[in-house]
Amino acid sequence: MNRVELHESIERNIKFSFARSGGKGGQNVNKVNTKVHAVMPFSRIKGLSQEELSAARRKLDAVINSEDEICINVDDERYQDVNRKIAAERIESRIIQAAHIATVRKKTKPTKASKEKRLNQKKLRSELKNSRRRIIF
């Protein structure tokens, strides 16, 4: 994954539209278009390998619409510019998280020393418990 190339492709290809937003802001909220609807064509994503792209497509299926675009709405803040930056960051972080391919864990066996140490501890514990027993004749 090339994060710089991914970031640049998102900055170049993201499209914004704006709407009136609810929430905090008082009367101003009824007059100003602060809600951001960000759209990014999935086919324009650069900086990912084929495997990462297919993984991202699978994981982002709920966010990708019928025109093969990633869509996100943001109305967290009162200011359009701030919401625009948040939307771009969210799209980028979602793509990065979805494209992450987990490495397969290799099973390992315990070493000879660790086996001996475990057996030694068991033996000591057993001797300790045996020494506490009461011998009845």
R_g over Cα of the chain: 28
The DSSP line for 5-62 is: HHHHHHHHH-EEEEE---SSSGGGGGT---EEEEEEEGGG--S--HHHHHHHHHHTTT
Q: What is the pLDDT of residue 90?
A: 95
Q: 63: pLDDT confidence band, cut at 50, 70 and 90?
A: confident
Q: Could you read off the pLDDT of 8-61 as tens digits, one per residue?
A: 999 999 999 999 887 776 777 778 888 999 999 999 999 899 999 999 999 998
pTM: 0.72
Q: Which pLDDT score is estimated for 134?
A: 80
3-state secondary structure of 69: strand
* Token representation of residue 24: 């905090």
- What six digits make up the tokens of 96? 């990065």
- Contact between 71 and 38 under an 8 Å Cβ cutoff? The reply is yes
What is the reported pLDDT for 32? 84
